């Protein structure tokens, strides 16, 4: 009887997914997450071709995403994460499976199809900026509907997606050896100093430095478990140059190689043990302040921001405006936010301690849930220490 009940539940779950796709409501993995992801997983185990185009599943350990019907060997459930669109999986750092080619599957959900068409328009628009109104007109929907639908499925706005694609184009051109001025123009950036500074902040260094792709650098790295998932620590002989957080080792390694394509990069699980232990102790609450040697390629402004972030007391937060004022540049709020977003050494430079003026959390490179967890854990430990000192 139990097997029969499980079978009925599986059919109902899959029928619910297909019904949503056929009625235009689409899969809702984030609204009733547990029940729908359970049905998704059953569909993946069954290699159900009816679900192709309804969602994709990504494997943390390999950094690859697939169609539900992919014939490849199935991973364990804990290694799998679901996405409503291939573009959302790629934005999270996963690459398409070469066997089942999930990026070619037609979307079953009209809203998902809408977002995919908008992504394609943005990618093929060339260097010319595309407004939300223009995209909405092409799609035949209102601007508000497009903004809401796009952000629900992709996690970012069309404007942010376009900016990310432009930045990626700049990176590719610089790595191919193009001159900085030509690369900036062809990627869609202007020649003004303001846009040059913006691209520098997003790259984590000047375009000229980025063009070298880490040439001459010898970077060792290790990946360990942490309270926030897998943690990559990379370093040169001068000091730590990368601390990144994620779920899949392959994704973390690929991101490091992508940032430094011409550097000598090798795994070293013993050479940086003291630095790794210090970061782990900090995350466990045993070491409130981290004093590690750093080897960072950055603009002068970025270095000033990151030093200011290291002055924020453990268990406390500051707003972007407060950081800008502390630097003596109260109008540089957006520039401060960009410097926080491109911080390559999370935890060591505590960009998670910077919040919006209204107290809400802004974007965090490693995910808002990790930012929230870091802030809450530090506040709790600070309170415990204060209570212990008062006894």
> Which tens digits make up the pLDDT trace of 195-254?
455 555 555 555 555 555 555 678 899 999 998 999 999 998 888 989 999 888 888 888
What is the rounded CA–CA span in Å between residue 51 and residue 68? 6
Q: Looking at the predicted structure, is the pLDDT value of residue 109 above 60? A: yes
Q: What is the pLDDT of residue 179?
A: 64
Is 294 contained in some domain? no
351 is annotated as an active-site residue? yes
Q: Which of 66, 97, 119, 241 is catalytic?
A: 66
Is 312 contained in some domain? yes
Q: What is the mean pLDDT of the chain?
A: 78
Q: For residues 88 and 65, state if they share a domain.
A: yes
Q: What is the pTM of this model?
A: 0.50
* Domain end residue (candidates: 101, 129, 148): 101
Is 202 contained in some domain? yes
Q: Which of 70, 119, 340, 351 is catalytic?
A: 351
Q: What is the pLDDT of residue 186?
A: 65
Q: Looking at the predicted structure, is the pLDDT value of residue 71 above 90? A: yes
Q: What is the pLDDT of residue 10?
A: 38
Going by C-beta distance under 8 Å and a sequence separation of 6 or more, which residues neighbour residue 134? none
Give the domain CATH number at 358. 1.10.10.10
The arithmetic mean of pLDDT across residues 189-195, rounded, is 50
DSSP state of 357: T
What is the rounded CA–CA span in Å between residue 20 and residue 16? 6
* Domain end residue (candidates: 211, 242, 261): 211
Range of the domain at 126: 109-211
The arithmetic mean of pLDDT across residues 146-166, rounded, is 81
Is 288 contained in some domain? no
Is 227 contained in some domain? yes
Q: What is the pLDDT of residue 29?
A: 37
Is 344 contained in some domain? yes
Q: Looking at the predicted structure, is the pLDDT value of residue 389 above 80? A: no
> Which tens digits make up the pLDDT trace of 331-360?
888 888 888 988 889 999 999 999 988 888
241 is annotated as an active-site residue? no
Q: For residues 116 and 97, state if they share a domain.
A: no
> Which tens digits make up the pLDDT trace of 267-281?
888 888 889 999 999
């Amino acid at each position: 009887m139990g097997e029969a009940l499980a079978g009925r539940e599986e059919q109902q779950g899959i029928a619910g997914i297909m019904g949503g796709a056929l009625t235009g409501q689409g899969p809702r993995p984030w609204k009733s997450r547990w029940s729908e992801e359970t049905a998704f997983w059953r569909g993946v185990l069954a290699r159900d071709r009816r679900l192709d185009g309804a969602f994709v599943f990504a494997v943390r350990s390999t950094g690859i995403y697939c169609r539900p019907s992919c014939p490849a060997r199935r991973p364990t459930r804990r290694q799998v994460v679901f996405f409503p669109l291939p573009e959302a999986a790629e934005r999270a750092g996963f690459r398409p499976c070469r066997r089942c080619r999930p990026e070619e599957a037609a979307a079953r959900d009209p809203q998902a199809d809408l977002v995919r068409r908008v992504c394609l328009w943005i990618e093929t628009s060339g260097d010319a900026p595309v407004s939300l109104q223009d995209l909405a007109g092409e799609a035949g929907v209102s601007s508000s509907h497009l903004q809401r639908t796009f952000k629900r499925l992709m996690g970012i706005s069309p404007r942010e997606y376009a900016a990310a694609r432009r930045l990626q184009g700049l990176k590719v051109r610089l790595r191919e050896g193009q001159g900085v001025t030509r690369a900036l123009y062809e990627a869609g950036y202007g020649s003004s100093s303001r846009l040059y500074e913006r691209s520098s902040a997003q790259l984590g260094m000047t375009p000229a430095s980025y063009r070298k792709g880490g040439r001459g650098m010898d970077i060792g790295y290790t990946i360990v478990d942490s309270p926030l998932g897998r943690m990559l620590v990379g370093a040169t002989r001068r000091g730590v140059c990368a601390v990144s957080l994620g779920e899949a080792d392959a994704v973390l390694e690929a991101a490091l190689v992508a940032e430094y394509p011409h550097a000598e990069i090798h795994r070293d699980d013993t050479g940086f043990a003291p630095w790794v232990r210090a970061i782990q102790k900090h995350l466990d609450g045993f070491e409130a302040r981290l004093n590690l040697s750093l080897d960072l390629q950055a603009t002068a402004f970025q270095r000033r921001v990151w030093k200011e972030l290291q002055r924020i007391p453990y268990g406390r937060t500051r707003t972007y405006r407060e950081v800008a004022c502390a630097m003596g540049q109260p109008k540089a709020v957006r520039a401060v936010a960009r410097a926080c977003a491109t911080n390559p050494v999370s935890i060591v430079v505590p960009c998670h301690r910077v919040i919006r003026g209204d107290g809400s959390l802004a974007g965090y490179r490693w995910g808002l849930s990790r930012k929230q967890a870091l802030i809450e854990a530090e506040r709790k430990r600070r309170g415990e220490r204060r209570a212990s000192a008062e006894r």
